[in-house]
Chain A
Amino acid sequence: VQLQESGPGRVKPSETLTLICTVSDYSITTGYYWGWLRQSPEKGLEWIGSVYHTGMTSYKKSLKSRVTISVDTSTNRFSLKLTSVSAADTGVYYCARDRFGSGSFDPWGQGILVTVSS
Chain B
Amino acid sequence: DIQVTQSPSTLSASVGDTVTITCRTSENINNWLAWYQQKPGKAPKVLIYQASTLEFGVPSRFSGSGSGTEFTLTISSLQPDDFATYYCQQYNHYSRTFGQGTKVEVK
Contact = CB atoms under 8 A, between A and B. Distances in A.
A72 interface: no
Contacts, number: 59
Interface in B49-92: 49-50, 53, 55, 87, 89-91
A22 interface: no
Given A44-B98, A99-B49, A104 B43 contact: no
B44 A102 contact: no
A108 interface: yes
Given A44-B101, A61-B1, A104 B46 contact: yes
Contacts of A96: 43
B49 A102 contact: yes
Interface residues of A, number: 21
> Which DSSP category, helix, strand, loop or mixed, fits chain B's interface?
strand
Most A C-beta atoms less than 10 A away, residue of B1, B44, B87, B99: B44
B25 to A, nearest CB: 12
A45 B46 CA distance: 14
Interface in A62-118: 62, 94, 96, 99, 102-111
Given A102-B49, A102-B53, A109-B43, A46 B34 contact: no
Interface of B: 1, 32-34, 42-46, 49-50, 53, 55, 87, 89-91, 94-101
